[in-house]
Structure 1
Amino acid sequence: MSIPNDRRRDGGNRARAGALLLVIIMMCGVAAVKLGAQETTPTGQQEIQTATPIPRTLPPADAAKTKAGFPAKLKRMTITGAGAFPFALFYTNFIFDSLRFTGNGFQSEYAPWPFKNQFSATVDTSEKFLRLGVSIGASAVVGILDALIQRR
């Protein structure tokens, strides 16, 4: 099945697909927040929990800095950013593949990851580096946001 040239040049389908993908990703984020553990209520009220809460622990007096003098907040930011990288890379590759698939008129050789086969179009080196850079940037944003969120 071929898409007429006038629709291919329109770009409307690509914009709609991108908007739909963005809405789906945002809905997944909202669902993750809604299904997470709830804070406990002050004593004297009934506590409602949907998941096992994370136990609160008191840090030792010298927890602000490690032996090498590396601040704990910066260490946490680095670890969180590095831990977010594989997820950021997966979602970045999926989004790039999906946009390329919609941009090429839904041709089967540009299908995203779960539907790729031996006849799929290859990704050139510059696009691989772009995907890697976007993934590193996204994981850095996750690490910075984690450092900015105050946990008490």
Structure 2
Amino acid sequence: MSVKKVMFGISGITATSIGAWFLTSGERESNHYKTKMDSFRKTAQKVNELLSGQSAQLRDPEHSFWTWSYNDHRSKNWSEDENIKTMPEEARQSKEGMRDFCFKQAEDNMKDLEGNSDVINSLSSDSFESGKEFWGYCLDSTGS
């Protein structure tokens, strides 16, 4: 077998391997995104059930609220109210970062919404106790 044929064979195998790797990498990324959105939707459903009767709700992770909210807060340089000042810097980097932060906080703190809690009582005044300020900027009370 000539060296030329061996080189073509190796380069063909390499190209096929790289193509397969990119294909499976794209599939994994797509599956990860879908799984994350499904999880966020379940969180939103649970939170909104706990908020029934309130004007605020946790929007679907792909709702335009997240783009609008991120752009609104960014245009005001993240300083328009005391609640937003508590948002971590990494959550301010993109609308996805803000959305992901909000859903993680909502999942971790869902018990805040049970019964006649301080958080439920704070929804109308937008004055949350320390550590619970995220509810003020993660929930949509605009009715959009």
What's the TM-score once normalised by structure 1's chain length? 0.28
What's the TM-score once normalised by structure 2's chain length? 0.30
Q: Which has the higher helix share?
A: 2
